[in-house]
């Protein structure tokens, strides 16, 4: 299988997986306790929005490195992330709300850090000679999110809640952000900072793989916690 075929397959597989995950979450929202339904619904929205964007991104005229409108792919991908990543930040806030009071400042801190991460990445991929600076800005934003959920206000709210299902979900979500979100910088480096054969295609395969983990698996963690607490 050549790299072009693998890349196209990853887009088709990503679209199908996001659709299946969305249908699953929307059907399952009625099977969990009322306090968890919003969280499961948001999980379905995240994957459905991703499915919608993958329908367009799977077209080889968009993702191929030689495509005249390749920049459209970057825009589509970051539009997707600028919608779905904040929704995932909402998920952190919602599951903490399940167990009691949590300051709205926790949400805003996480949101600001995630936006810094995304804006840095977008500028790095679209502005000439800004690749390294954009990468550094994005990594600072990601480090901010990691700090907040491991040692900041979000982490403290999780511990104080003393709900086993919430703590289990929160710990799994922390690992996804720490490990799963770390996959994106690998793709960024391959596609923007080093010279690699078929680097653009490799970057897109890595991004698509990361999306599956960070959207579908993220939602499954929330669904599992909701089922165990229902």
Q: Is the pLDDT of residue 62 over 60?
A: no
Q: Per residue in 152-198, pLDDT tens?
A: 888 887 777 677 888 888 889 999 999 999 999 999 999 999 888 88
Overall domain count for the chain:
1
Q: Is the pLDDT of residue 83 over 80?
A: yes
CATH number at residue 212: 1.20.1070.10
Range of the domain at 89: 3-228
In whole angstroms, give the CA distance from residue 206 to residue 189: 11
* Other CB atoms within 10 Å distance of the CB of residue 33: 12
Pair 127, 151: CB distance under 8 Å: no
pLDDT (0 to 100) of residue 98: 75
- DSSP H/E element including 18: helix 3-28
Q: Is the pLDDT of residue 68 over 70?
A: no
Whether the pTM exceeds 0.85: the reply is: yes
Q: How confident is the model at residue 64 (pLDDT cuts 50, 70, 90)?
A: low
The answer for 99, left when phi > 0, alpha when psi is -120 to 50, beta otherwise, is alpha
Pair 174, 150: CB distance under 8 Å: yes
Q: How far is CA 154 from CA 49, 162, 173, 182, in A?
A: 26, 13, 12, 20
Q: Per residue in 99-108, pLDDT tens?
A: 666 788 989 9
Q: Per residue in 112-159, pLDDT tens?
A: 999 999 999 999 999 989 999 999 999 999 999 999 999 988 888 777
């Amino acid at each position: 299988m050549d790299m072009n075929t693998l890349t196209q397959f990853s887009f088709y597989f990503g679209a199908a997986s996001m659709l299946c995950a969305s249908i699953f979450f929307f059907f399952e929202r009625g099977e969990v306790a009322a306090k968890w339904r919003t969280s499961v619904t948001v999980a379905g929205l995240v994957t459905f929005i991703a499915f919608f964007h993958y329908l367009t991104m799977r077209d080889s005229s968009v993702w191929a490195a030689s495509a005249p409108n390749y920049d459209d792919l970057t825009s589509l991908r970051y539009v997707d992330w600028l919608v779905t990543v904040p929704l995932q930040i909402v998920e952190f806030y919602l599951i903490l709300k399940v167990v009691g009071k949590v300051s709205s400042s926790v949400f805003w801190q996480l949101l600001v850090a995630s936006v810094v991460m995304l804006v840095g990445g977008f500028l790095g991929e679209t502005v000439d000679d800004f690749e390294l600076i954009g990468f550094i800005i994005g990594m600072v934003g990601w480090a901010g999110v990691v700090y907040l959920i491991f040692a900041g206000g979000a982490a403290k709210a999780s511990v104080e809640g003393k709900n086993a299902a919430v703590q289990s979900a929160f710990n799994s979500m922390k690992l996804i952000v720490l490990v799963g979100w770390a996959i994106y910088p690998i793709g960024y480096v391959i596609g923007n900072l080093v010279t690699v054969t078929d680097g653009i295609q490799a970057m897109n395969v890595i991004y698509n793989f990361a999306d599956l983990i960070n959207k579908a698996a993220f939602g499954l963690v929330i669904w599992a916690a909701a089922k165990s607490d229902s």
